[in-house]
Amino acid sequence: MTGTGVFADILDGDVYKYYSEGEWKTSSSGKSVAIINPTTRKTQYKVQACTQAEVNKIMEAAKTAQKVWAKTPLWKRAELLHKAAAVLKEHKGPIAECLVKEIAKPAKDAVTEVVRSGDLVSYTAEEGVRILGEGKFLVSDSFPGNERTKYCLTSKIPLGVILAIPPFNYPVNLAVSKIAPALIAGNSLVLKPPTQGAVAALHMIHCFHLAGFPKGLISCVTGKGSEIGDFLTMHPSVNCISFTGGDTGIAISKKAGMIPLQMELGGKDACIVLEDADLDLVAVNIIKGGFSYSGQRCTAVKVVLVIESVADALVEKVKSKVAKLTVGPPEDDCDITPVVTESSANFIEGLVMDAKQKGATFCQEYRREGNLIWPLLLDHVRPDMRIAWEEPFGPVLPVIRINSVEEGIHHCNASNFGLQGCVFTRDINKAILISDAMETGTVQINSAPARGPDHFPFQGLRDSGIGSQGVTNSINLMTKVKSTVINLPTPSYTMG
């Protein structure tokens, strides 16, 4: 049960506390933020609306704790992360329950998110021990004009305080994918969880607390991003921001100071289908890629670009699979569950109505009850329709029929997003050429886009992001190279 047993400390009456200086606290604001259950559309939980003074205290504690943590041996940091991973997995039940109630994630997927998060923390601990345990050794005489009089030793040092802001769709997994690299690299970490998903994140943070991390090293500030966000992202104590979410990330990147940024933003992942593709394989991947978690994944297939000659056959196959998707509450593990908020459902409906007005073919009848939108495939979508370019973040998938591969690549590259894409063909040579021509951070050949496995690099071009994620890249991004140069009085060459 959420907020009970080992989690009893994190609740004050009916409001969840925030985490500061190693303790669970009630905000002096006297205000709380309601978290609306997307299925019932009623208040499910409440969290503290933290004040600016409380943020200042957290930042001071984070700075102090980081200085000590940076001097903690790497193996000890790894040991604590392994412990946190084990505690997290042990308590997957209540955390998954929060995900079901706060973001309507289907029950099984909610458990998977927590287990995947535990694995990510453990993997990061191991990878950190490997890559942070190594540095470079350079000699000066490889650069013209130099004798071997200088030895350069490089190592990776922490940045300081990392601010982590994950989105609603993976409030636990996309939080630990920032927390674990920050900590293994010797940084302290301040988490601002998404409002929808905040209670799952608070439970997850308590697992780190139970693992015994030093006071002040990890903190969790709750409150609406629109109210507390600017104060956090522009705080002078923050040395790096790792953000995953929508256009908010673009605004943050304009306001943040001269600090490293890791931004994973939206996507309009295209699925290009050639005439020689295995259409059964394509249909399975369109269903998995387009409709899992009701399309609320940045890596969801968001537009199908299919060669006209095989379009009828493909649309038929996908249609018959859409008819088998179960629709209903997350507790029943339905494939399609309510989208996260009413405003999100309204936005999706706006895209559907625009496509209807402009003449798209509806493969199913459009149906909505509250935040629940039935899966919908829209055929014969044209570039003048909003859905051809905008990201619904819902169970609605447009199909654009193309006459050439070049037309598909052109559509993909004309998007302001450039996260992932995929291409289906039996011709590997063509697949490679198309992959190289698609201007996206990743191209999947014969499979739907996906972030995982979590140690793979994950990045977007254009409005889809800055920097790269994935365990190794995140650790590197949260460190800086430090050199020490030994200057010798005379050249010294090792003899062969």
Ligand X SMILES: NC(=O)C1=CN([C@@H]2O[C@H](COP(=O)(O)OP(=O)(O)OC[C@H]3O[C@@H](n4cnc5c(N)ncnc54)[C@H](OP(=O)(O)O)[C@@H]3O)[C@@H](O)[C@H]2O)C=CC1
Ligand Y SMILES: O=C(O)[C@H](O)COP(=O)(O)O
Per-residue mark of binding to ligand Y, 291-320 (x: CB under 6 A): ------xxx---------------------
The verdict on 161 binding ligand Y (CB under 6 A) reads no
CB of 163 to ligand X, least distance (A): 9
Q: Is 109 in the site for ligand X (CB under 6 A)?
A: no
**Closer to ligand X at the Cβ: 84 or 450?**
450
Residue with smaller CB distance to ligand Y, 127 or 454: 454
Which option in ligand X, ligand Y, none does residue 450 bind, with CB closer than 5 to 8 A by kind? ligand Y
Mark residues 257-286: x for contact with ligand X by CB under 6 A, - for none. -------xxxx-------------------
Binding residue (CB under 6 A) for ligand X from 52, 64, 112, 248:
248
Q: Which stretch binds ligand X (CB under 6 A): 13-21, 34-42, 125-133, 219-227?
A: 219-227
Give how many residues touch ligand X by CB under 6 A. 27
Q: In the set 27, 37, 51, 169, which binds ligand X (CB under 6 A)? A: 169
Candidates 117, 169, 337, 473: give the one binding ligand Y (CB under 6 A). Answer: 169
Q: Which span (20-28, 94-102, 168-176, 212-220) binds ligand Y, by CB under 6 A?
A: 168-176
Cβ closer to ligand X: 55 or 125? 55
What count of other Cβ atoms lies within 10 Å of the Cβ of residue 487? 8
Binding mask 431-470 for ligand X (x = CB under 6 A): -----------------------------x----------
The reply on whether position 268 binds ligand Y by CB under 6 A is no
Q: Which two tokens stand for residue 175?
A: 């939080």
Q: Which stretch binds ligand X (CB under 6 A): 49-57, 211-219, 243-251, 483-491?
A: 243-251
Q: Is 127 a catalytic residue?
A: no
What is the rounded CA–CA span in Å between residue 160 and residue 179?
A: 13
Contact 365, 359 (CB under 8 A): no
Q: Of residues 450, 475, 477, 478, which one binds ligand Y by CB under 6 A?
A: 450
Query: Angle at which helices 74-90 and 107-132 pack, to 10 degrees?
Result: 170
Comparison of 19 and 393: residue with beta carbon closer to ligand Y:
393
Stretch that binds ligand Y, among 107-115, 235-243, 366-374, 445-453 (CB under 6 A): 445-453
Q: How far is the CB of 451 from ligand Y (least distance, A)?
A: 3
Supply the minimum distance, in Å, between the C-beta of residue 392 and ligand X. 10
Map the footprint of ligand Y across residues 353-382, applying CB under 6 A. none
Residue 233 binding partner per list ligand X, ligand Y, none, with a CB distance cut-off of 5 to 8 Å that depends on partner kind = ligand X
Distances in Å between the Cα of 249 and the Cα atoms of 31, 101, 104, 189, 301 are 26, 26, 24, 19, 21
Is residue 340 involved in binding ligand Y (CB under 6 A)? no
Q: By CB under 6 A, tell whether 7 contacts ligand X.
A: no
- Interacting span for ligand Y (CB under 6 A) from 48-56, 169-177, 217-225, 348-356: 169-177
Q: Is 230 in the site for ligand X (CB under 6 A)?
A: yes
CB of 385 to ligand X, least distance (A): 19
Binder to ligand X among 22, 135, 214, 246 (CB under 6 A)? 246
Q: Which of 97, 102, 127, 264 is catalytic?
A: 264
Q: Smallest distance from the beta carbon of 145 to ligand X, in angstroms?
A: 46
The whole-angstrom separation of Cα 248 and Cα 176 is 20
Binding flag, residue 452, ligand Y (CB under 6 A):
yes
38 sits near ligand X (criterion: CB under 6 A): no
Torsion angles phi and psi, residue 169, rounded to 5: -80, -20
Q: Does 440 bind ligand Y (CB under 6 A)?
A: no
Most distant pair of Cα atoms in the chain: their distance: 82
Q: Is 168 in the site for ligand X (CB under 6 A)?
A: yes
Per CB under 6 A, 55 contacts ligand X = no
What phi and psi, each to the nearest 5 degrees, are found at residue 7?
Answer: -95, 5
Smallest separation (angstroms) from ligand Y to the CB of 370: 23
List of long-range contacts for 2-11, beta carbons under 8 Å, 24+ apart:
2/45, 2/94, 2/97, 2/98, 2/101, 2/199, 2/203, 4/94, 5/94, 6/91, 6/206, 6/210, 7/91, 7/94, 7/203, 7/206, 9/206, 10/202, 10/203, 10/206
Positions annotated as catalytic residues are 264
- Interface residues with ligand Y (CB under 6 A) are 169-170, 174, 297-299, 450-452
Q: Under the rule (CB under 6 A), what is the footprint of ligand X?
A: 165, 167-169, 192, 194-195, 224-226, 229-230, 233, 244-246, 248, 252, 264-267, 298, 391, 393, 419, 460
